[in-house]
Structure 1
Amino acid sequence: MFKIKHVLLLSFTIIALTIAGCKSQFEKIRLSNDVAKKYQEAMKLYNKKNYSKAIILFEDLSQKYRGRAEAEDLNYYYALTLYKLKDYTTARYQFKSFADTYPTSKYAEECRYLGAYCYYLESPKSSLDQTNTKAAIDALQLFINFYPKSERVADASKYIAALRLKLETKAFDNAKLYYDLGGFEVSNYKSAVIALKNAQIDFPDIKYAEEMDLLIVRSQYNYAKNSIEIRQEDRYNEAITYADEFMESYPQSKMLDQAKALKADSESGIEHAKRMIAEFQKNQEKYKAMLAKEAKADSTNTTIKTPIK
């Protein structure tokens, strides 16, 4: 039993010393002033996919190799290591810096592409701020402009299409939010119409065009319905116009019946508003007549008659 424990203890000690030896060897190279050896070790670690250690050496070497012939390859692998570590913010900066510094390098095209691709990878879901999405589109388009015959253009174009769809979704969701908030504030329905139209101006080929056009009809209808009667006729007429435009643009739409129903309801709304206004005016006339009659009666009752003598 004692021998077994002794053997186990010895084994653990050997493993610990081996690990410590490896660590001390790396630290020794890291602290070394032998930049050639440090660069060789950094590449060895990179090729072994030990990026977390390789980046430490590359970061140190990037300062020491500045202005030297070897700096080009070093900066290329430095940027790639950051990319492998998924530090996309720093990586895209390094890729762009490389492409700007070495525009004729054999790595320039790849770095310009990967820098744009890092923006793409950092683009958030459509419900969040889309600053990186717009930056990614610009960067990918710039790559296409620089290298129109590159094999990577097809992928860059595909990514741009995906990013634009995300912006379209964001625009549609923002506009729809105004409609959803219409129950709290009537003017939000009108804001929804404006936002939906603006989104279609910004994205003429927007994927959600049909759904957005119907929502314009529905928003305008609700805006009219919840307005005071004196404003309803004009606002219902706008809803009818939008409904007619929808039916003309999408004659085979699955939502055609909804557009027809909204148009019919708008026409009924106009008739109802007219009756309400007429009734109100009639009652006003009755009220004015009653006031006039009462005023005349009061005048007669207050006349002072001369007593008969």
Structure 2
Amino acid sequence: MKKGILVLGLLMVTLSCSEYQKLLKNEETAPKYTAAEQLYNEGKEEDSNKKLRKALKLLEQIEPEYRGKPQGERIVFILADTYYQLGDYFNAPFQFDRFLQLYPKSQKAEEAGYKSASSYFYRSPKYNLDQTDTHKAIEELQVYLNTYPEGEFNEEANKMATELLVKLEKKDYEIAKQYHHTEYYKAAIASFNNFIADHPGSPFREAAYFYRFDSAYRLAINSFEVLMEERLNEAREFYKSYKKYYPEGEYTPQLEDALSEIDKSLQNF
């Protein structure tokens, strides 16, 4: 009985594939449009890449035939959205942008704008890689938010933009921190100064204040005597800056220990 069910299932799949192949070769566009719409809807509902890929082939075949016709708007949109649902975030924004150029007043224009922008978000790489797509995503998400200030997807777009900004901040922070860890203390101080100036609301801000101080402290205690006093005083100023903004900060114990050493060293001058 199980073998019979299995054979029947395989037969149905074979017939289904056979019918689909015939449909691809069929010169009539109407049945292809109907099948593509059904496969697209089922693929989205069932999260089935197989059905979405089948829909995509049909849509790519019939899209040129429906240009200028009433169905053209729907076909161009679901073609773009099929790329998006398949996770093809390189073709999706191109197709959504084409849809917006062809149908700027469409009821689907806002969704197309959001999905085009969010495609760049999904293309954004890890913080330690080139961030060209991250900058592009922030730019496109801001365009969406400016165009639709009360838009349906505003909450998601704002979350995405914030996440991307934090990623850029992390990249800058890690570069400065790498200078510190490799004992390029002058470069570290300069980088942390820039980071603090450029990212006033960053979650890495407290750590940046601490590592700027620590870089200055280590630079001072390893300096020639002629340079040491000035550098110790600079480190002391960085200590004050940290305490001003983070009086009970997480790095306070390390700062207090280092400050004691600074004060002892300054007594020699």
After TM superposition, the score normalised by the length of structure 1 is: 0.77
CA distance in 1, matches of 2:31, 2:223: 79
Partner of 2:169: 168
CA distance in 2, matches of 1:72, 1:15: 37
2:248 aligned to 238, 243, 252, which one?
252
Residue identity in the other structure for 2:37: M
**1:110-136 per-position Cα deviation (integer Å, ceiling 9, x unaligned):** 000111122222223333332222222
Q: Radius of gyration: which is bigger? A: 1
Greater Cα shift, 216-225 or 128-137: 128-137
3-state SS of 2:219 partner: helix
Within the alignment, does 1:59 sit opposite 2:53 as a pair? no
Residues 195, 208 of structure 2: 8 Å contact kept: no
1:33 aligned to 27, 33, 36, which one?
27
Cα root mean square deviation, aligned: 2.4
Partner of 1:116: 117
3-state SS of 1:253 partner: coil
Residues 243, 262 of structure 1: 8 Å contact kept: no
Partner of 1:269: 265
Partner of 1:79: 80
Q: How many residues align?
A: 262
Q: How far off its partner does 1:85 sit?
A: 1.1
3-state SS of 1:48 partner: helix
Structure 1 unaligned spans of 5+: 183-187, 275-309
**1:262-283 per-position Cα deviation (integer Å, ceiling 9, x unaligned):** 23322333455x5xxxxxxxxx
Residues 199, 205 of structure 2: 8 Å contact kept: no
Q: How far off its partner does 1:194 sit?
A: 1.0
Which of structures 1 and 2 has the larger relative contact order (alpha carbons within 8 angstroms, sep 6+)?
A: 2
Partner of 2:147: 146
Q: How far off its partner does 1:18 sit?
A: 4.6
**1:66-124 per-position Cα deviation (integer Å, ceiling 9, x unaligned):** 33332211011111111111112211221222123311001000000111122222223
Identity %: 32
After TM superposition, the score normalised by the length of structure 2 is: 0.88
Q: How far off its partner does 1:151 sit?
A: 2.7
Runs ≥4 in structure 1, deviation > 6 angstroms?
A: none
Within the alignment, does 1:230 sit opposite 2:226 as a pair? yes
Partner of 2:135: 134
Greater Cα shift, 216-225 or 227-236: 227-236
CA 1:269–1:101 in 2, change beyond 3 Å: closer, same or farther? farther
CA distance in 2, matches of 1:172, 1:43: 48
CA distance in 2, matches of 1:145, 1:16: 52
Partner of 1:46: 40
CA distance in 2, matches of 1:16, 1:148: 52
CA 1:195–1:86 in 2, change beyond 3 Å: closer, same or farther? same
Structure 2 unaligned spans of 5+: 44-50
